[in-house]
Chains A and B, each alone.
Chain A
Amino acid sequence: MVTQTRDASDWQKVDGIIEKYEAKKSNLIAILQSVQEEFRYLPEDILTYVGTKIEDLSPATVYGVATFYAQFSLEPKGKYIIKCCDGTACHVRGSMPVYTSLKQRFGLEDGTFTSKDGLFTLETVSCLGACGLAPVVVINDKVYPQMTTDAMKIIIDTILEEEHSA
Chain B
Amino acid sequence: MANTLFINGKECEFTDEPNLLEVIRKNGFNVPTFCYCPDLTQFGACRMCVVEIEGRGLQSSCTMPPEAGLRIYTNTEKTRRVRKIVLELLLANHDRECTTCDKSGKCELQKYAEEYGIKNIRFAKKKESDYLPIDNENPSIVRDPNKCILCGACVRACSEFQGHSVLGFANRGSKTVVQPIAGKHLSEVDCVYCGQCQAVCPTGALTIKNDIDKVWEIVTDKNKKTAVQMAPSVRVALGEEFGLKPGENVIGKLNAALRKIGFDLIFDTNFSADLTIMEEATEFIGRLKSGENLPLFTSCCPAWIRYLETQHPELLKHLSSCKSPQGMLSPVIKELVPKYFQGFTKENLYVISIMPCTAKKAEAKRPQLTRDGRPETDFVLTTQEIARMIKSAGLDLATLEPEPNNSPFGQYTGAATIFGASGGVAEAAVRTAYEFVTGETLENIDFKPLRGVDKNSRTKDATVDIKGTQVKVRVVSTLKEAEKSLKEILAGKAEFQLLEVMACPGGCINGGGQPRSCNDSKIKEERAEGLYKEDRELPLRKSHENPDIKKLYAEFLENPGSHIAHDLLHTHYKNLFENSYKDLKK
Contacts and interface: CB of A to CB of B under 8 A. Distances in A.
A associates with B: yes
A111 to B, nearest CB: 11
Interface string B162-190: 00111111111000000111100000010
B171 A68 contact: yes
Contacts of B169: 64, 68
B585 A58 contact: no
B585 A60 contact: no
Nearest to B164: A58
Contacts, number: 53
A11 B585 contact: yes
Contacts of A87: none
Contacts of A64: 168-170
A47 B189 CA distance: 14
Given A67-B171, A68-B172, A60 B581 contact: no
A126 to B, nearest CB: 15
A1 interface: yes
Contacts of A1: 182
Nearest to A49: B584
A64 B171 CA distance: 6
Given A60-B180, A60-B181, A67-B170, A45 B165 contact: no
A58 B581 CA distance: 12
Which one of A44, A57, A61, A64 has the greatest number of beta carbons of chain B within 10 Å? A64
B582 A61 contact: no
A63 interface: yes
Interface in A46-83: 47-49, 51-52, 57-64, 67-68
B153 to A, nearest CB: 15
A44 B183 CA distance: 11
B506 to A, nearest CB: 23
Contacts of B189: 59-60
Which one of A47, A58, A61 has the greatest number of beta carbons of chain B within 10 Å? A58
Interface in B465-504: none
B170 to A, nearest CB: 5
Contacts of A58: 159, 164-166, 168
B171 A59 contact: no
Nearest to A44: B182
A63 B581 contact: no
A67 B169 CA distance: 9
B181 A63 contact: yes
A48 B172 contact: no
Which one of B164, B180, B181 has the greatest number of beta carbons of chain A within 10 Å? B181
B322 to A, nearest CB: 30
B584 A48 contact: yes
Which one of A6, A11, A60, A61 has the greatest number of beta carbons of chain B within 10 Å? A60
A61 B167 CA distance: 8
A61 to B, nearest CB: 5
A11 B583 CA distance: 13
B181 A47 contact: yes
Contacts of B167: 60
Interface in B145-166: 159, 164-166
B182 A63 contact: yes
B181 A51 contact: yes
A64 B170 CA distance: 4
A58 B172 CA distance: 18
A67 B177 CA distance: 11
B582 to A, nearest CB: 5
B168 to A, nearest CB: 3
B163 to A, nearest CB: 8
A60 B168 contact: yes
A59 B582 contact: yes
15 contacts: A6-B584, A47-B181, A48-B181, A48-B581, A51-B181, A52-B582, A58-B165, A58-B166, A58-B168, A59-B582, A60-B165, A60-B166, A60-B181, A63-B182, A64-B168
Interface of B: 159, 164-172, 179-182, 189, 581-582, 584-585
Given A58-B164, A58-B165, A61-B165, 12 more contacts: A11-B584, A48-B582, A48-B584, A57-B165, A58-B159, A59-B181, A60-B181, A62-B181, A63-B181, A67-B171, A68-B169, A68-B172
Q: Which 6 A-B pairs give the minimum distances between C-beta atoms? A: A60-B168, A58-B165, A64-B168, A59-B181, A63-B181, A60-B181
